[in-house]
Amino acid sequence: MDKYEALRVYYGHDAFRPGQEALIDGLLAGRDVLGIMPTGGGKSLCYQIPAILSDRPALVVSPLISLMKDQVMALKSQGVAAAYLNSSLDLRQQDLVLERWERGAYRILYVAPERLETPGFLGTMTRRPPGLVAVDEAHCISQWGQDFRPSYLQIVDFLDRLPARPPVGAFTATATQAVREDILRILSLRDPVRVVTGFDRPNLYFDVRHPRDRKAAVLDLVKERAGRSGIVYCATRAGVEEVCEILQNHGIAATRYHAGLTDEERRENQDAFQYDRATVMVATNAFGMGIDKSNVSYVLHLNMPKSLEAYYQEAGRAGRDGAPADCILLYGPKDVRTALYFIENGEENDLLSPEDRAEVVRQDKKRLNAMVDYCKTTRCFRGQILDYFGQDHGASCGNCGNCLGDFVRTDVTIPAQMVLSCVKRVRDKLGYPVGMNLLLDVLRGGRGQRVLALKLNEVSTYGLLAREKKETVRTLMDHLVQEGYLRVDPDHGGVSLTPAASEVLFRGKSVVLALRDVPKPKSAIPRVVLPAGEAPAEGFYDGLFQRLKEVRTRLAQRAGVPAYVVFSNATLADMAVKLPTDREEFLAVNGVGEQKADRYGKEFLAAILDFLGEETI
Closer to Mg ion at the Cβ: 64 or 371? 64
| DSSP assigned state of 7 | I
CB of 561 to ligand ADP, least distance (A): 14
CB 331 within 8 A of CB 371: no
Q: Are 299 and 228 in contact (CB under 8 A)?
A: no
63 binds, among Mg ion, ligand ADP, none (CB under 5 to 8 A by kind): none
φ, ψ at 474 (rounded to 5°): -60, -45
* Binding region for Mg ion (CB under 5 A): 43
Q: Report H helices in 444-593.
A: 449-453, 470-482, 501-506, 540-559, 563-566, 569-578, 583-587
The least CB distance from residue 563 to ligand ADP, in Å, is: 13
Residue of 54, 63, 157, 161 whose CA lies nearest to 104: 54
CB of 35 to ligand ADP, least distance (A): 8
| Count of all residues that appear for the chain in the document | 617
- Decide whether 207 or 292 has the Cβ nearer to ligand ADP: 292
- Cβ count near 453 (within 10 Å): 8
Nearer to ligand ADP by Cβ, of 42 and 130: the residue is 42
Binding site for ligand ADP (CB under 6 A): 13, 16-17, 20, 37, 39-45, 292, 294, 320-322, 568
Nearer to Mg ion, 294 or 417 (CB): 294
Angle between helices 354-376 and 470-482 (to 10 degrees): 110
What is the smallest separation between the CB atom of 398 and ligand ADP, expressed in angstroms?
A: 22
Q: Which amino acid is at 140?
A: C
- The H or E element spanning position 521 is none
Which partner from the list ligand ADP, Mg ion, none does 180 bind, CB cut-off 5 to 8 Å by kind?
none
Q: In the complex with Mg ion, which residue's Cβ is closer, 197 or 417?
A: 197
Distances (CA, A) of 540 to 25, 44, 56, 257, 475: 43, 35, 48, 37, 45
Residue nearest to ligand ADP (CB): 42
Residue nearer to Mg ion on the CB measure, 174 or 402: 174
In terms of Cβ atoms closer than 10 Å to its own Cβ (0-12, 13-18, 19+), residue 371 is buried
How far is 114 from 397, CA to CA, in rounded Å? 44
Q: Which is nearer to ligand ADP, 231 or 497 (CB)?
A: 231
